[in-house]
Amino acid sequence: MVNTQLFQTLKGALLPAATATNAAGAPAYALSPRHQLAQLAATGCLSQTFYADAESQLDTVLALAQQVEPAFVAKTAIYARQAAHMKDMPVLLAAVLAVRDVGLLAQVFGRVVDNGKTLRGFVQMLRSGQLGRKSLGTRPKKLVQQWLLQASEQQLLNAAVGTTPSLADVVKMVHPKPTEAWRAAWFAWLIGRPYDDAALPPLTLSFERFKRALAEGQSPHEVPAVPFQLLTALPLTTEHWAQIARDGSWQMVRQNLNTFARQGVFGLKPMPHVVANKLRDPEAVRRARVLPFQLLSAYKAAGADVPAEVRESLQDALDVALANVPAFDGRVVVCPDVSGSMSSPVTGQRGSATSTVRCIDVAALVAAAICAKNRGARVLPFERDVVAVKLNPRDSVLTQAQALAAIGGGATNCSAPLAMLNREKAEVDVVVFVSDNESWINTRRGATQTLIEWDRLKQRNPHAKLICLDLQPNTTTQAPDRADVMNVGGFSDAVFTTMARFAAGQTSAEHWVNEIDKITLAPQ
């Protein structure tokens, strides 16, 4: 007699069987090579995550970059830098093009290598040998020379901060031939060769004079507007530090609030108000391309000596950074993953530079932000099962995010929230998962349990949409892309825009990849 438990009749449409195994060893659906590359580029930081080390990420990216067409590699590099605000991954893809298609590299170079840090990273990646060569090559060398010969003095000074390689190493490597006297003097100053003081550009000259004055025991009033890192080793006064805070870039001020507190800056009467106004300025926040989790990081790191007004301004800035969180039509359910794997740093293990912000913090932040824009939205945090949590909708996004992040731990079961909705026979229009998608509780053959539960929910709610936001550099999912399912990766405002377009029915299959494909490659 037939084993009816093994061969029971499936309800609903025949669902596709899982095509891959995820990093946790459970059935999953493999994303297409193009989608995999986009996911890695928008979330990968080339550092160890909960499920993958840096070396395996690099190997996967390089393999995928050979599978897809060079034009898509170029577009993904641009998206990762300009929309997802990533640093290492877009530079890596540009370096891949230096080996694979230098014509395309010339088109994307200025849109990806847009500051000194990315320039130095590009040079280091090419000369490392990891991409099959240890030299820049003629065309990449010319592009680096062009950057050096077109950069402003301020850009060059910013680029002079950092090593491996230093900007001096890059200049010695590519031998730029400046036609301006100031640039020739600046390069000589940078690499330690004789130069004419009178030929130095104004910022560099003022920096040299400032250092000499301090060395002679003087206390000059004006701090030169050079990068903060060039000044930290000097014997500065509290007033000097206050000027640095007043005149510094938005990102620098955000990152050094505790330093300013230690140096007594906030003891000077107007300074707490000055710094708070800088941090909450909407236009400055937008120009800084700050990611929401970076503001969360600054808020968490701010010590007791940072005034309340300054800490509260970070919450104001967070509201600006979350301005693109969509307001969906209809009934919304948001499902943040609070399982054990979400405790890993969102940008991976990076030694002393490891972020204190975990994946669970970002998931909670996104969930709270969606609830703030969608009053009445349900929050179903999950690990093995849905975790009961009570949130006060009148609390700030930051307060709600901290409450959600405090309940982490346990195994991962992405189907749990959908199963609960099905048991309740709930009416739903949009379901948003914020997870690493590494579900491993259900290991049955055939379709994943997540897709089975989603199909059951769709039978009651035929117009419902499922959005799976993945925060980690993974290559599989629990529900494959289709007309009602979108998989998207990252944690920038570009993700929110894509989610809104999908929920409104303005995109088609492989929705996120199509957004990347729309990028033009006209020469810049």
Place of tokens 């459970």: 26
- Closest C-alpha among 52, 64, 66 to residue 23: 52
Asked if residues 438 and 22 have their Cβ atoms less than 8 Å apart, the reply is yes
| Tokens of residue 131, six digits | 């991409």
pLDDT for 483: 92
Residues 364 and 506 in one domain: yes
pLDDT for 281: 96
Report the distance separating Cα 33 and Cα 488, nearest Å: 14
Residues 263 and 352 in one domain: no
Report the distance separating Cα 82 and Cα 80, nearest Å: 6
Domain termination site, one of 237, 269, 288: 288
pLDDT digits over 121-177, tens only?
Answer: 999 999 999 998 889 999 999 999 999 999 999 999 999 999 889 999 999 999 999
pLDDT for 12: 40
Task: Please give the residue that has the higher pLDDT: either 203 or 10.
Answer: 203
Is 481 contained in some domain? Answer: yes
Q: Report strand pairing: 332-336 vs 378-379.
A: parallel
Domain termination site, one of 270, 288, 306: 288
Place of tokens 């093994």: 6
pLDDT for 6: 46
Domain termination site, one of 268, 288, 308: 288
Q: Report strand pairing: 332-336 vs 430-435.
A: parallel
Place of tokens 């930081």: 45
Report the distance separating Cα 508 and Cα 70, nearest Å: 23
Percent of the chain with pLDDT over 70: 93
Report the distance separating Cα 253 and Cα 270, nearest Å: 16
As beta bridge partners, residue 467 has 432, 486
Residues 371 and 501 in one domain: yes
Q: What are residue 497's phi and psi, to 5 degrees? A: -60, -45
Count: domains in the chain: 2
Q: How many CA atoms lie within 13 A of 445 on its CB side?
A: 4
Residues 370 and 511 in one domain: yes
Cis peptide before 381 (omega within 30 of 0): no
Q: SS3 of 76, please?
A: helix
Residues 475 and 342 in one domain: yes
Is 45 contained in some domain? Answer: no
Residues 351 and 411 in one domain: yes
Instruction: Taking residues 3-8, report their average pLDDT.
Output: 52
Residues 391 and 487 in one domain: yes
Instruction: Supply the pTM of this predicted model.
Output: 0.88
pLDDT digits over 100-126, tens only?
Answer: 999 999 999 999 999 999 999 999 999
CATH number, position 336: 3.40.50.410
Q: Report strand pairing: 332-336 vs 20-21.
A: unpaired
pLDDT for 247: 92
Report the distance separating Cα 42 and Cα 38, nearest Å: 6
Report the distance separating Cα 501 and Cα 198, nearest Å: 56
Highest mean pLDDT out of 6-15, 281-290, 423-432: 423-432
**Ramachandran sector of residue 30 (left: φ over 0; alpha: ψ -120 to 50; beta: rest):** beta
Is 138 contained in some domain? Answer: no
Residues 336 and 228 in one domain: no
pLDDT for 3: 59
pLDDT digits over 383-437, tens only?
Answer: 999 999 888 878 888 888 888 888 878 889 999 999 999 999 999 999 999 998 8
pLDDT at 26 over 70: yes
pLDDT digits over 451-503, tens only?
Answer: 999 999 999 999 999 999 998 888 999 999 999 999 999 888 788 888 988 99
- Closest C-alpha among 39, 147, 145 to residue 89: 39
pLDDT for 493: 79
Report the distance separating Cα 169 and Cα 150, nearest Å: 18
Q: Which helix (H) or strand (E) element contains residue 295?
A: helix 292-301
How many residues does this entry show for the chain? 524
Residues 467 and 381 in one domain: yes
- Closest C-alpha among 236, 220, 140, 153 to residue 190: 153
pLDDT digits over 306-358, tens only?
Answer: 999 999 999 999 988 888 888 999 999 999 999 988 888 877 766 666 677 88
Using CA atoms, how far residue 346 sits from 53, 190, 342, 517, in Å, is 13, 36, 8, 26
Residue range(s) defining the domain that contains residue 227: 197-288
> For residues 210, 215, 218 and 224, what is the CA-based torsion angle, rounded to 10 degrees?
10
Helix axes 167-174, 138-150, angle to 10 degrees: 120
Q: SS3 of 304, please?
A: coil
pLDDT for 349: 66
**What is the pLDDT confidence band of residue 47, given thresholds at 50, 70 and 90?**
low
Residues 266 and 383 in one domain: no
Find all residues with CB under 8 Å of 102, minimum gap 6, and list them.
137, 139, 140
Is 341 contained in some domain? Answer: yes
| Tokens of residue 247, six digits | 């005149």
Q: SS3 of 382, please?
A: strand
Is 247 contained in some domain? Answer: yes
Q: How many CA atoms lie within 13 A of 64 on its CB side?
A: 26
Place of tokens 């893809």: 93
Q: Report strand pairing: 430-435 vs 378-379.
A: unpaired
pLDDT digits over 504-515, tens only?
Answer: 888 776 788 988
Asked if residues 478 and 435 have their Cβ atoms less than 8 Å apart, the reply is no
Burial of 456 from C-beta contacts in 10 A (0-12 / 13-18 / 19+): middle
Is 6 contained in some domain? Answer: no
Q: How far is Cα of residue 90 from the mean position of the Cα atoms in its chain?
A: 11
| Tokens of residue 450, six digits | 């997540």
Report the distance separating Cα 40 and Cα 84, nearest Å: 11
| Average pLDDT over the chain, rounded to an integer | 90
pLDDT at 2 over 80: no
Is 399 contained in some domain? Answer: yes
Report the distance separating Cα 401 and Cα 365, nearest Å: 5
Q: SS3 of 234, please?
A: coil
Q: 191-200 as b/e, with b when 16 or more CB fall inside 10 Å?
A: eeeebeeebb
Is 347 contained in some domain? Answer: yes
Residues 278 and 343 in one domain: no
Residues 356 and 278 in one domain: no
Instruction: Taking residues 200-220, report their average pLDDT.
Output: 93
Find all residues with CB under 8 Å of 165, minimum gap 6, and list them.
120, 123, 124, 127, 173
pLDDT digits over 211-247, tens only?
Answer: 999 999 888 889 999 998 999 889 999 999 999 999 9
Asked if residues 276 and 257 have their Cβ atoms less than 8 Å apart, the reply is no
pLDDT for 441: 77
Report the distance separating Cα 11 and Cα 251, nearest Å: 54
pLDDT for 48: 60
